[in-house]
Structure 1
Amino acid sequence: MSDLRTETQSPAVLRPAAVLFDMDGTLIDSEKVWEIAIVELGRSYGGEISEAARAAMVGTAMEESMRIMHRDLGQPWRDPAAGALALEDRVVELFRSGLVWRPGAMVLLAAVRAAGIPTALVTSTRRRLVEVALDTLGRDSFDVVVCGDEVSANKPDPAPYRTAADALGVDITACVAIEDSPAGIASARAAGATVLAVPCELDLSHLHGETGIHLRGSLADVDVPHLATLLVPRKDL
């Protein structure tokens, strides 16, 4: 295998136009917080949500998550908007009690900022919850914040990542998006970004070898020069 870097394409020169970060499960270990709230809500409805339904909810918009949950519980007649509000109220309480960074996430985010690379937070979570999470993440950590209730369509649609790139004024194809869920990865790839996929709750091994998707076990293994290498074309000779 040979590397097709030229002098002008070296990682020292070729930097991402921007780094676009997902939030839940990527920067903060909040999927466990969502798990608590979802289980509690399901039990308040008189049921137990299945593992398959819970997995399908990861990375999706709130009301779609509620539709998945209601179908799983055999209660499709429930209002997804009302369910989303009840879930959000509980998660706000849990977020305020404190959030934990994912391994390596805080260091990488700080390094990207120190390198002067534009950043965006691109999340399916609604603005009300994101504002609480920013108390942990830092309000000056991102040039742009795109929330799930502020886009025309949510992940896996490409709209969130296109919105972020447009707001930053950068070419999405020169950006690296960092994601942990299939829905988020699909969104970023459909928008045209290169994806660094770091699993949290879900196995992503089936994505190995997919064009434009690079799997890593942890952000602790990633630094700014490594992000640059993801944009360098490679081929087998």
Structure 2
Amino acid sequence: MTRLPAAVLFDMDGTLVDSEKVWDVALHELAERAGGRLSPPARQAMIGSTMSRTMQLMRDDLGQPDRPEAPDAAWLTDRVFELFGNGLVWRPGAHELLRAVRADGLPTALVTSTGRKLVEVALDTLGRENFDVVIVGDEVDAPKPDPEPYLIAAGKLGVPITACVAIEDSPTGMASALASGAAVLAVPAELELPPTDGVHLRTSLEGVDAAFLGSLLRPVALD
């Protein structure tokens, strides 16, 4: 008998939609506004991180440790909001997988480090009806790589985290999902992902369905 996950927990940026390229545009524009240029290593370190961590990396990279965070964070949010509003491109296989999971009646959660304002506009592309729970980065005490966002999602869905599959694209997200106890499927987008114990790597979500996700779950212990 095919075993299915109790729920599927989706990251957003780079996993469901190709939004890291949108962030790339806005972050480089912000660095230029600050009179500098964002380095490739700093940009890579920002993938999957929170707004506060991103702003810290920006200040460090530009050599402007005393630069106020709030105005930059507000400008960046507004710029990404504008770019998100133009529509987001689905990652290969992501839309098909989300539809298949919903058709099979599985609970779903969106678990992202992105803040509520930007997630709300992204949901215009993703479809609010596709998620039973939405966990965002600015509404948790300990964002990714802490496991809290995934644990909260499973708790709100009323399912054990160990019976869930989390789908991620970044080392930060992988660390969060692994630490939560979920089975983890990782599909690289902007960053190469090294082989990691407990993480199932694929080049894309094409061909993935609920049965495949169920096969990633740890075997159930028999008494």
Establish whether TM, by shorter chain, passes 0.5. Answer: yes
Q: C-alpha displacement at 1:211, in angstroms?
A: 2.8
Task: State whether structure 2 residue 190 is matched by structure 1 residue 198.
Answer: no
The AA in structure 1 aligned to 2:103 is A
Q: 1:107 aligns with which of 96, 100, 110?
A: 96
Q: Tell me how far 1:98 sits from its aligned partner.
A: 1.1
Deviations 1:175-222 (A, max 9, x none): 100000110110011111111000000000x2x2x3320000000131
Distance 1:221 1:47 in 2: 43
**Residues 108, 219 of structure 1: 8 Å contact kept:** yes
Deviations 1:68-95 (A, max 9, x none): 0110010111122322111111000000
Give the match for residue 90 of structure 1. Answer: 79
Alignment of 1:51-90 (within 5 A): 51-90=40-79
Cα separation, 1, equivalents of 2:56 and 2:67:
8
Q: Secondary structure at the match of 2:9?
A: strand
Q: How far did 1:231 drift?
A: 1.0
Q: Within the alignment, does 1:221 sit opposite 2:207 as a pair?
A: yes
Partner of 1:7: none
C-alpha separation between the residues in 2 aligned to 1:80 and 1:160?
24
Aligned residues: 219
Conserved 8 A contact 2:5-2:210:
no
Aligned to 2:137, the other structure's residue is in SS state coil
Output the CA distance in 2 between the equivalents of 1:76 and 1:185: 29
**TM-score normalised per structure 1:** 0.90
Partner of 2:18: 29
**Structure 1 residue ranges (4+ consecutive) displaced by more than 3 angstroms after TM superposition:** none
SS of the aligned residue for 2:188 comes to coil
> Deviations for 1:15-72, whole angstroms, at most 9, x for unmatched residues?
1110000000000000000000000000000111111000000000001101001100
Q: Which runs of 5+ in 1 are unaligned?
A: 1-9
SS at match of 1:68: helix
Q: Secondary structure at the match of 1:55?
A: helix
Check if 1:134 corresponds to 2:134: no
User: 3-state SS of the aligned residue for 2:206?
Assistant: helix
Aligned-pair identity (%): 64
